[in-house]
Structure 1
């Protein structure tokens, strides 16, 4: 077969297998399509399909095909992170800054501490987790932040299905997750500081500030179709500049969206755009992510590390939100409901872990454990939140 034919065969696997499992297995309640796609990426990767059928795996996922898939995956995840940046609403967070700051700070800080402690445990009992270019502090903070991440875009999808997105409770969750998103990318930038490229990184931040100011003056004066085009060009430029500076193109993608106001775009059109990216492009990212999994330290060790990380991430998030609830005088059941929603990991954590792997902060084995942790965290959300919403229906209308 030609490379084109093999590429299309790989695309068939990417799109057919997850939707078949999702529909035939009726997994929506415990494992929405996004989770099934992530799991299929792992199953189609070298640790499962590659181990069981090495010749077939080598035929379908040869170097030219993987290169083509990676290109689509990079563009898909840049668009997805850009949308996440655009949808940040810092104005609402500022209006309720005490409540938002206390909740978001504790919801991020506690799982960060718990995750950092788990990272120290991994370092103590094995050397197969830290990347070859990482200092111990980078690994510890990176793992800690991976445990603290909230997946804002997937959280939006979950809250839509739970019918709370446009209600006061859903808007509160968006405020908390938005502040945590900013902190996540800020910490990532600190982890990726490259002293040999410090001049480039300072230059990037200065030029970004100037260009971002100019963009904010320009976009509101354009027709909406022109805004979309200019915004996508801006996204590409920021991604290139951030990668050139040594930060990572994904940091640039997020920043390019964060300086843009969501109100400059039609909300329904932005929702359709995000859904289209998830439908048509992100499955390729999930597959390319699965191709990066590795079980060389042993399946038991990887699953053990994933279980540890899942426990500390969930426990840390719930503990932080419960402390915030006590400080703010929340009602019974409110902290549990908010905490279980905010512990959703999914895509943002996977993107974060991909960057740590790219920069050799973590190994492929640690990446695999984080990926499994993200899947477990996301699968817990709906089964835990739905009963709480039924028991505490009045909390849907509580604005904070």
Structure 2
């Protein structure tokens, strides 16, 4: 198979006018197109996205189906939409669900599309719980540390979202020492508490702006501490969770502009039906947003390629920066090796897009 790409994203930059030879389902080499007729001509060839926050997809919610089969179904639903790898995300739930999710992640490592696990809660602030169930919220404890030890002992990349102001600093540091990526989210932290978390192992902020106190002139809070830090910041770029203006502030005010990335926060409706059940409540799509019976946001109804397109539309970012925020940067934030359009890479990990950044073809 021969693919002609006007633009090619590899090794952190765009190149132009390349032909990509595919053999046995993998990239074999690059070369000039010459007089050959390609099997497929595309505007852009790039690695599939990496999404660090995927609650569900294809009608499957990880909390409700914390099994290797559940993970596989979610990963496949997102692969069809241009995401190569995900962190299946288990949100605040019972200790039994957390244990099952960890076991599923361990068993699923090595499956196509699975990069690790994201544990979002239960160690969060009740006042900023969002759609998380308050019944299961509890402080960071030895039970969760045992789960983290098991995950890291099995080599599973692990992201833990918690409220740093509520965490025992000894346990926080122990989790960081295990190699767990700690992210501040669903938090009531003020700026000083956020900086204390950063000094004790926190390296990331989960869906910046959402589920945290907002900045004011005399209370900069966790958001200002995050923006002015060198930590990683995840952002939901659906145009619903965060406005264009606030996205621009977060991206452009950073001392390290390369420390922002996008996540989908996707729920089962992505690649699936328009509703699902969470904690026994009906969640449905309304005007592009996912809402519960009270009209509150409950995750997002968006995939990563659509997030990348909306990010560019809302911020005017150059294509190169937007691609990086959907591919290379989330991987760097997790310490994962980069995906690239390079010899030896499986075709499954790549996406081909047209001039409007729409999927040109599903590569298998």
With the length of structure 1 as denominator, give the TM-score of the two structures.
0.27
Bigger fraction of residues in strand: 2
RCO comparison, higher one (Cα < 8 Å, 6+) = 1
